[in-house]
Amino acid sequence: MKWRKRLFEIIEVAEESDKLSNIYDVAMMLTIIASIIPLAFKSTNTAFSIIDKVTVAIFIIDYLFRLITADYKLKKGAGSFFLYPFMPMAIIDLLAILPSLIIVNNSLRLLKVFRLLRTLRVFRVFKAVRYSKSVKLILGVFKKTRESLLVVCGIAVMYVLISALVVFNIEPDTFNNYFDAVYWATVSLTTMGYGDIYPVTIAGRIVTMISSFMGIAIVALPAGIITSHMMEEINAEKEAEKQKSK
């Protein structure tokens, strides 16, 4: 059916020349933002209730639109309609809708945060051709530095676990459990220093100072690795452009 194909183009395939598709994306982005506003408040009121009902109704319509055009997206014939509900984004859509359709306690309000993940679908409205090279450049840098970054992350995790074990045994009265020590070690390593948990003995403070100094080095490593590779990629692109212009 032609109307289903057109509907699919509007909700899924956003082209620069398709104004209706771009309007739909912007409208959905605004709906998502509006649906998140009540989550920033502990209390609720009539306005928040109306916002929730209206946005959820829009989400349901969007979900149904995507379901009835699933065959155009998955290209698996009638089976597409059965497969679509199990797609990652479809599950996210459903999780964003369910909390408002069923009676849940406040702890399950967290499920509504899944609405933020819906923005991944409509971020294409902000996609511009001039930024595509930058995105590819950044992704390429992360891909090339993946092994180095994993090593740094491994070192950081090991240092946190070891320093937590050391301080936990030095000051058993200060830390109620090993997790508290891991929390302290993480905060010290990142040099955040919240001050809610801290050693009181001389030995514990010495470990804290060492952890803070080590943290500066470990936290700086990823930035240095990424920056150096970024400069290499930029210089390589400039050289390639010079070669083309010759």
> What does pLDDT average to in each consecutive run of 10 residues of the chain (246 residues)?
84 72 83 78 81 87 91 87 87 76 54 56 43 65 84 88 87 86 85 77 85 81 83 79 71
Closest CA to 89 of 57, 134, 40, 124: 124
CA dist., res. 86 & res. 96, Å (int): 15
C-alpha 223 chain-centroid distance: 20
All domains in the chain, ordered by first residue:
2-127 (1.20.120), 131-245 (1.10.287.70)
Give Cβ neighbours of residue 168 (< 8 Å, ≥ 6 apart): 175, 178, 181
Half-sphere exposure of 220 (CA within 13 A, CB side): 6
CA dist., res. 115 & res. 33, Å (int): 9
pTM of this structure: 0.53
CA dist., res. 12 & res. 15, Å (int): 10
Question: Nearest 5°: phi and psi at 45?
Answer: -150, -175
Tokens of 80: 């597409």
Tokens of 154: 């491994």
- The pLDDT value recorded for residue 68 is 92
> Contact at 8 Å (CB) between 166 and 158?
no
> Contact at 8 Å (CB) between 225 and 145?
yes
Grouping H, G, I as helix, E, B as strand and the rest as coil, residue 118 is coil
Q: State the residue for tokens 């946005």.
A: 55
* Helices 202-245 and 129-144: angle between axes, nearest 10 degrees: 130
For every residue of 143-201, which 3-state class applies, written as one string? HHCHHHHHHHHHHHHHHHHHHHHHHHHHCCCCCCCHHHHHHHHHHHHCCCCCCCCCCCC
Tokens of 52: 């929730």
Half-sphere exposure of 101 (CA within 13 A, CB side): 11
- The pLDDT value recorded for residue 37 is 80
Question: Nearest 5 degrees, angle CA 106-CA 93-CA 125?
Answer: 120
